[in-house]
Chains A and B, each alone.
Chain A
Amino acid sequence: MMKSFYSLILMGLLGLSSCKVDPVIIPVLPVNDLREIVPQGWPAAKYTFSVNAISAEAFVLGRSLFYETLLSKDNTISCASCHMNKAAFSNPDHNLSHGINGILGKRNAPGIFNLTWHPYFMHDGGINHIEVQPLGPISNRIEMAENINNVISKLQGTDKYKTLFKNAFGTEEVTTQRMFRAMAQFMGLIYSYNSKYDKVIRNEEGMVFTEAESRGYALFQANCNACHKEPLFTDFQFRNNGMRVDPQVNDSGRAHITNQAIDLYKFKTPSLRNLAHTYPYMHDGSLATLQACLDHYTSGVVNITNLDPYLQSGGLKLSAEDKKDLIAFLLTLTDNTIASDSRFADPNIK
């Protein structure tokens, strides 16, 4: 009796002092249920919505902005032009993203999910916060090429946004902070934690790896997990995995931001979740298939400046059979709930 009393108090205190989200597993959320999630066993998120209280109205505004072409100079391109819902919000059609006037960017658009864990954004980590992320593409000459002042006045001039801003923030006023916080709610609440892998790890009923997937998982842990760390499948470090440098583009990677020689040709380790959707692969979209990625690790690793020590002795050793098993495992990281979840869908398509 006494003991259970103590533990009750203890739990009460824990509950109160944490004031944060408890680790929860909520397999697919019902429509309109918006909440911060930290799946069991995951690290704490970097962005916690503590100054950006989640509301359905702000989320709806953020979604609307994400799918809004008024954000671009000639009103033709939205974030979703390059970050497609059906493809875990990546751009499967192009190896390099096409922006305004079809101009080719120099990098491949990554998927958008589990962003609240990212300590920085972009392949070079140049953007340091989810709330200032949209400024990058909006003002990028090649992507949307628009000035934020114009975006604000365009939005302010529509009844639709007057209503949406009023619903979300109490007045019709359009400010960058309101825009970007709403967009942070939309993007930040796109979680990916319902792949087959997750269900197996959670011991959900009837969920087991096939033999090939099991072998693949073991190979993954031995060869890849050092960088593509579970459960997010990235360690968020900047590393050089031996991709050939295209002399035309000469993308210096992280060094573009830090101007330090030790960062030359290093890129943020990408998550391997949703690989089935996020092709083509690597920062420059130069590898079309998972087979090509694995072939890269076994026979394509170029010994260039700052090649990761882990890959320096001629890359990884994997047999053809190993690669098959690895691919089988990698495909268990596909989470189709992102595409099927109507909360994330284009609100303009009824």
Chain B
Amino acid sequence: MKQLFYIIFFALLLFFSCKKDPITNDPTPAPLSSIQVNLNNMVDDSLLVLNKNYFTSAGDSFMVSKFKYYLSNFVFTLEDGSEYTEPESYHLIRHTNGISSFTITQVPLGGYKAVRFMIGVDSTHNVSGTQPGDLESSYASDMFWTWSSGYIFLKLEGTAPKSPASDKLIEYHIGGYGGKYKTQRDFNFNFGFGRLNVLQTKLPVLNLKVNVNEIFKTPVAIDFSSLPTVVAGGFYAKQLADNYADMISLKSIDNP
């Protein structure tokens, strides 16, 4: 009979342990503050202005009318190597003239020495139905393919004199969340001796430079006359993703 009670006891234990969160003895939660992330969308050294003429590295003229992309899964590394992972970290950047920015809130205070994130949306969130926040905005912002489910990770539209498409359009809708043509690309920036200081009272800024011209440059130079549009995942989308894999660079960290 005693044995039986043990069994019931364990059964109950099992039951409760699967339901409740592990009990932690945290006295008070760490104080939290925020980081502002600035995206300086540029063509080489000038800030991107919509519908203005620019030249690719190969010397081809083009204009941009729309430039949007997803940055996600931000992880910041503290001095001691511990990490802060932003929950539900999905940011849709919609270029309007000027610097685009968003704020990551609830970041534990401290000096951060590195950041990593990616362009695109992880495959799990591509296959799990409707999502809140910036992912939900994808439907209204045409950043979701409705006929072949999945987020469009980067969208650049405009015109180029060399384009054979009607109205000289160029359209690059890049996405594809899994398999050999996946188009998420990781970025990892170490701040060297610098630190991004997250304080209670001041808002530090992470300044990133996003160079549109990198999308057309390497490893595969994009020729507007032969590839004016890519509007689905696959071989060409991957080619453009390999190009944008070095589109973002660290410009500066500003501690006010």
- A and B part of one assembly: yes
* Chain A residues close to B by CB (< 8 Å): 2, 5-6, 9, 12-13, 16-17, 51-52, 122, 126-132, 135-136, 138-140, 147-149, 152, 175-177, 180-181, 184, 256-257, 259
Question: With the chains together, A72 CA to B189 CA distance in Å?
Answer: 46
Report the minimum CB–CB distance from A323 to chain B (whole Å). 36
Complex-state Cα separation, A17 to B14, whole angstroms: 9
The reply to whether A129 and B149 form a contact with Cβ atoms under 8 Å apart is yes
A-facing residues in B156-182 (Cβ within 8 Å): none
B147 at the interface (CB under 8 A from A): yes
A139 to B130, CA, bound (A): 16
How far, in angstroms, from A149 to B138 measured CA to CA in the complex? 11
**Identity of the chain A residue whose Cβ is nearest the Cβ of B147 in the assembled complex:** A126
In the bound assembly, the distance between CA atoms of A12 and B7 in angstroms comes to 12
Q: Flag if B149 contacts A177 (CB, 8 Å).
A: no
Instruction: From known contacts A132-B144, A135-B139, infer whether A177 and B234 are also in contact, taking CB-CB under 8 Å.
Output: no
- Residues of B close to A147: CB separation below 8 A: 140
Q: Is the CB of B18 within 8 A of A132?
A: no
Residue B136 at the chain A interface, CB threshold 8 Å: yes
Task: Tell me the smallest distance from the CB of B60 to a CB of chain A, in Å.
Answer: 27
A131 to B, closest residue via Cβ: B129
- Bound-state CA distance A131–B139 (Å) is 12
A180 touching B18 in the complex, CB below 8 Å, given contacts A5-B4, A149-B140, A175-B136: no
The reply to whether B8 and A140 contact each other, CB–CB distance below 8 Å, is no
Q: In the complex where A2-B4, A17-B18, A184-B129 touch, is A148 in contact with B147 (Cβ < 8 A)?
A: no
Q: Known contacts A17-B18, A176-B139, A181-B130; is A128 also within 8 Å of B150 by CB? A: yes
> With a CB–CB cut-off of 8 A, which chain A residues contact B130?
131-132, 176-177, 180-181
Smallest CB–CB gap between B66 and chain A, Å?
16
Chain A residue at minimal CB-CB distance from B18: A17
Question: Which single member of B144, B149, B234 contacts A126 (CB below 8 Å)?
Answer: B149
| Complex CA–CA separation, A129 to B234 (angstroms) | 20
Task: Kindly state the separation between the CA atoms of A5 and B3 in the bound complex, as whole angstroms.
Answer: 12
Contact with A along B1-41 (1 / 0, CB 8 A): 00010011001001100100000000000000000000000
Asked whether, in the complex, the Cβ of B144 is within 8 Å of the Cβ of A177, the reply is no
Q: Are A13 and B129 in contact (CB under 8 A)?
A: no
Q: Is B146 an interface residue (CB 8 A)?
A: yes
Query: Nearest Cβ in chain A — how far from B182, in angstroms?
Result: 14
Interface string of B112-132 (1 = CB under 8 A from A): 000000000000001111111
Q: Does B55 contact A (CB under 8 A)?
A: no
B8, B18, B149, B235: which has the most chain A beta carbons within 10 Å? B149
- Kindly list chain B residues whose C-beta atoms are within 8 Å of the C-beta of A131: 129-130
CB distance from A288 to the nearest CB of B (A): 27
Q: Contact size class for B?
A: 20 to 34
- Knowing A9-B11, A129-B129, A131-B130, the reply to whether A139 touches B149 (Cβ < 8 A) is no
Q: Nearest Cβ in chain A — how far from B153, in angstroms?
A: 16
Q: Does B148 contact A (CB under 8 A)?
A: yes
Closest to A139 in B: B146
CB distance from A16 to the nearest CB of B (A): 5
Q: How far is the CB of B24 from chain A (nearest CB, A)?
A: 24
In the assembled complex, the Cα of A138 lies from the Cα of B139 at a distance in Å of 11
The CA-CA distance from A139 to B138 in the complex, in Å, is 13
Contact B129 A127 (CB under 8 A): no
Give CA–CA (A138, B146) in the complex, Å. Answer: 9
Task: Check if A259 sits within 8 Å of B234, measured CB to CB.
Answer: yes
Residue of B nearest to A150 (CB): B140
Alpha-carbon separation in the docked complex, A168 to B201 (Å): 40
Instruction: Give the distance in Å from the alpha carbon of A176 to the alpha carbon of B128 in the complex.
Output: 14
Contacts of A5 in B (CB 8 A): 4
How far apart are A296's CB and chain B's nearest CB, in angstroms? 28
Which of A2, A6, A16 has the largest count of B CB atoms less than 10 A from its CB? A16
Known: A5-B4, A127-B147, A132-B146. 15 other contacts (CB 8 A): A9-B7, A9-B8, A13-B11, A16-B15, A126-B148, A129-B129, A130-B129, A132-B129, A132-B130, A139-B146, A175-B132, A181-B129, A181-B130, A256-B148, A259-B232
Which residues of chain B come closer than 8 Å to A130, judged between CB atoms? 129
A134 and chain B: residue at smallest CB distance: B146
**What CA separation (Å) do A175 and B4 show in the bound complex?**
53
Name the CB-closest residue of A to B4: A5
Q: Tell me which residues across on chain B come within 8 A of A126, comparing CB atoms.
A: 147-149
Could you show 28 A-B contacts with beta carbons less than 8 Å apart?
A5-B4, A6-B4, A6-B7, A9-B7, A13-B11, A13-B14, A51-B129, A122-B147, A126-B149, A128-B126, A128-B127, A129-B129, A130-B129, A131-B129, A132-B144, A132-B146, A135-B146, A139-B146, A140-B147, A148-B140, A152-B140, A175-B132, A180-B130, A181-B129, A257-B148, A259-B232, A259-B234, A259-B235
Contact A177 B131 (CB under 8 A): yes
Q: How far does the Cβ of B184 sit from chain A's closest Cβ, in whole Å? A: 17
> Smallest distance from the beta carbon of B87 to chain A beta carbons, Å?
16
In the complex, the answer to whether B4 meets A136 with C-beta atoms within 8 Å is: no
Query: Are B234 and A180 in contact, CB atoms less than 8 angstroms apart?
Result: no
**Which residues of B lie under 8 Å from residue A17 when comparing CB positions?**
14, 18
How far is A181 from B128 in the complex, measured between Cα atoms in Å?
Answer: 12
Q: Which residue of A lies closest to B234 (CB)?
A: A259
Query: Chain A: which residue is nearest B127 at the CB level?
Result: A128
Q: How far is the CB of B232 from chain A (nearest CB, A)?
A: 8
Closest chain A residue, CB of each to CB of B233: A259
* Residues of A close to B132: CB separation below 8 A: 175, 177
Contacts A126-B147, A139-B146; is A176 near B140 (CB within 8 Å)? yes
